[in-house]
Structure 1
């Protein structure tokens, strides 16, 4: 092989996954990262105190526990402990009520009372076949999934949860609010079919492999991926942005862990006109706006069971979540903003100190909206945890444009790297049989703008690397990812 086989542009979870696979296959691989530190959406740092670690983007990682790439890579075997909260996620309601997704499906159903049996019928078959569900959802959408029986369980459930029928499935308020809170991860109009699919995926994982937080912060995942890449001969360049594809002419294969707008910036005049128009028409969704708090004590939830939750969705009942997310998708500011919150020290005490605790939270805003989210987020927390404001020692606010400045893949603050709708699920970023291969010889895409889409799962990088190995180097057997 030549001394310059492949280069990956970007060191997010997919870029690192692709780099690990190619290096383990024996290629000479380089990763070029424009930022001074690696990780993309998996970065952590001290914001207010050297001994208190805050996650800058992703914080909770159900897919890093369940997706095929990470199952094979085995974070635990590399010293990354995934801390599992007793309550995977919670959803408070006014009056001190809350929907609680315990790790135990039985405990969850018991807490839901009259709605418990219906919730069990929805989730139990998925929990029992969790690996098949995950592998079906995280397929490359190019061939019939191996688990057809599992596939057949999904459409009716997606339709029930992703259409107006969802408003009539339960008697109480807790279960529909819980599921709507999960659907909010779709970052778009609700109810919707993508939202219904996310309910099934993340909802059942709450009772299967859980919604873990990596001990020490999300950067621990990026760190062990980089360690493995370097151990297999990879070369990592930080603070090394790529502005023109021609800079990479010496490499037989180029993998771009960048979104469509970034691809146009790097390779626009080299791309065929038709493909270029497809990338130019790619739609970005609503943005995220984030607030990081340093607090003196655990959040004083009106419902104390929420202290057991690693993740909390704040907004109100199902109708409030639907109204909030639909308003944002229409470019409006909602009356009741949807807030997604994590309090890491409930599961990982190493993240802070006595009297100094990190709280991570974001809300959704119209794409590019310059709204300062701190007071909006603080108000929603205070609504369900009276006295929270009295515990705040410091706060850092990150509006949507600042998220894009931090990571150019997040256009307008869109942390999903593209609107999550049916067209862009199946033609992401452009309609092609192999969505990872561009019309340029040897140039591939591996960002979250390719199937299976956003999240810390590594599967976009996995499938792109698989294509590169087969098509550019004649390697048809994927390398082992296990610890040697």
Structure 2
């Protein structure tokens, strides 16, 4: 009998497995796909020779900022995190753009009239970014480690006040220019939620803070798969095993083990082992619900995107949605179950910092468009139309494309049901009561744990859901007490 089985090899699942293996347990990870990584994989999609694409996540501020990945030390395990000079950009009509430089002072200078307002909002958070991360990455049940010293509690209070401002109608009071307002709103839109809202504001302020510290919005050399490859290598070094092409659809697909950790959606856990769970847990998991969705468009270009504002081309991430008002309208349409006329799009050209991703004069372009859950729409033209608004002539450099509609994202990652890439709705309540308000959101039954984006701290490539769940398992099943990070 195995000590532990982890279902799913995304960053959370692998982090959980490494945590257990480092404690001396015999661990096996089961992955349905032929390749390891879940939402952090880099694959050849057959669009052009030598060109690989990140199939889900592409840009990784949490890869260096997450407490567990900082402790793991990805660079020491061979992962090179590349830092774009401009973390993210927001092109606007008329050839203007908001630019979030890695350097806060340069960002403030570029924003002109709103520079002081940007500094007053994000400056105090960047000074205590570790406290901000500790708060955001906590289990939402206990006092986060690291808030008690060095101004951490004050920084946490500032973060809360900033969320209250930017998550309500007060968000219009701070900035006077479209550049600054849209720059922060583009980050908030990562939540795929109505704007303004508290969940989106928390996303904006966490990621906005990380844009100006450390590696900024880092891009792993070679692609996102480098992160999960490092975790897999560490697991195997510790004696753990990863089995691919092994879907788990029922209890019969699970080897006998003392503990099971599911880096999956709650639906999968219920399908596989639900009959063994307490009724209250089954009901709670079923109530989590799904968030709105994303559709993926992978492009191959013969040259850089011809942005009207050339500085946008130096950003690792570009939020293509126009003004704050335009983005709010687009996200409201999606929340209402409609396709936006001008959808919110996320775009990343990894060759901005990683020339190795180019081959034969071609380069990959990673894009998402926000759509209603379960959408079957091919959004290729929607994305290109949005790009053309701010980069006229971009269609002339597109040599290949592939759209994966929201309804089909689960074909390469079963967690992404209906295109929900966040593991559930991103609201203030659901970031706390995720999947339920139970004091232990990870333990679902005797020896059964959920460790995916559907538990605190929620979505992102940070491994913290896996780490929190694994620590609970070590204490509750094995009476082992690993030290806090």
Give TM-score, length-normalised by structure 1: 0.96
Superposition deviation, residue 50 in structure 1: 3.5
Q: Distance in 2 between matches of 1:230 and 1:288?
A: 33
Asked if 1 retains the 8 angstrom alpha-carbon contact of 2:350 and 2:357, the reply is: yes
Q: Distance in 1 between matches of 2:187 and 2:367?
A: 15
Superposition deviation, residue 4 in structure 1: 1.2
What corresponds to 2:384 in structure 1? 378
2:407 pairs with one of 397, 401, 411: 401
2:373 pairs with one of 355, 367, 385: 367
1:166 pairs with one of 165, 171, 185: 171
Superposition deviation, residue 270 in structure 1: 2.3
Give TM-score, length-normalised by structure 2: 0.96
Asked if 2 retains the 8 angstrom alpha-carbon contact of 1:44 and 1:218, the reply is: yes
Superposition deviation, residue 57 in structure 1: 0.4
Q: Structure 2: which 5+ residue stretches go unaligned?
A: 148-152
1:26 pairs with one of 24, 27, 40: 24
Pairing 1:425–2:431 present: yes
**Aligned partner of residue 5 in structure 1, secondary structure:** strand
**Aligned partner of residue 339 in structure 2, secondary structure:** coil
Q: Distance in 2 between matches of 1:477 and 1:263?
A: 26
Distance 1:249 1:215, change over 3 A: closer
Distance 1:444 1:375, change over 3 A: same
Moved over 4 A (4+): none
**Aligned partner of residue 155 in structure 2, secondary structure:** helix
Distance 1:283 1:393, change over 3 A: same
Superposition deviation, residue 232 in structure 1: 0.3
Superposition deviation, residue 51 in structure 1: 1.5
What corresponds to 1:155 in structure 2? 160
Pairing 1:289–2:288 present: no
Asked if 2 retains the 8 angstrom alpha-carbon contact of 1:292 and 1:395, the reply is: yes
Superposition deviation, residue 260 in structure 1: 1.0
Q: Distance in 1 between matches of 2:428 and 2:272?
A: 27
Pairing 1:192–2:197 present: yes
Q: Distance in 1 between matches of 2:379 and 2:255?
A: 43
What corresponds to 1:266 in structure 2? 272
* Cα deviation digits, residues 281-311 of structure 1 (max 9, x gap): 2210111101111000011000000111000
What corresponds to 1:462 in structure 2? 467
Asked if 1 retains the 8 angstrom alpha-carbon contact of 2:342 and 2:382, the reply is: no
Q: Distance in 2 between matches of 1:457 and 1:106?
A: 27
Q: Structure 1: which 5+ residue stretches go unaligned?
A: none
Superposition deviation, residue 354 in structure 1: 4.7
What corresponds to 2:75 in structure 1? 76
* Cα deviation digits, residues 356-385 of structure 1 (max 9, x gap): 010000111000011111110011111100
Pairing 1:313–2:319 present: yes
What corresponds to 1:250 in structure 2? 256
What corresponds to 1:112 in structure 2? 111
The correspondence of residues 53-64 of structure 1 with structure 2, limited to 5 A, is: 53-64=52-63
1:452 pairs with one of 419, 434, 457: 457
Asked if 1 retains the 8 angstrom alpha-carbon contact of 2:200 and 2:427, the reply is: no
Superposition deviation, residue 95 in structure 1: 0.6
The correspondence of residues 312-391 of structure 1 with structure 2, limited to 5 A, is: 312-391=318-397
The count of aligned residue pairs is 477
Q: Distance in 1 between matches of 2:15 and 2:265?
A: 16
Q: Distance in 2 between matches of 1:273 and 1:126?
A: 42
* Cα deviation digits, residues 434-456 of structure 1 (max 9, x gap): 10001x21011101100000000
Asked if 1 retains the 8 angstrom alpha-carbon contact of 2:297 and 2:366, the reply is: yes
* Cα deviation digits, residues 401-435 of structure 1 (max 9, x gap): 11022211111100001111122111111221110
2:440 pairs with one of 406, 412, 434: 434
* Cα deviation digits, residues 223-255 of structure 1 (max 9, x gap): 111000000000111011112235546211110
1:8 pairs with one of 2, 6, 9: 6
Higher mean alpha-carbon deviation, 4-13 vs 276-285, is at: 276-285
What corresponds to 2:235 in structure 1? 229
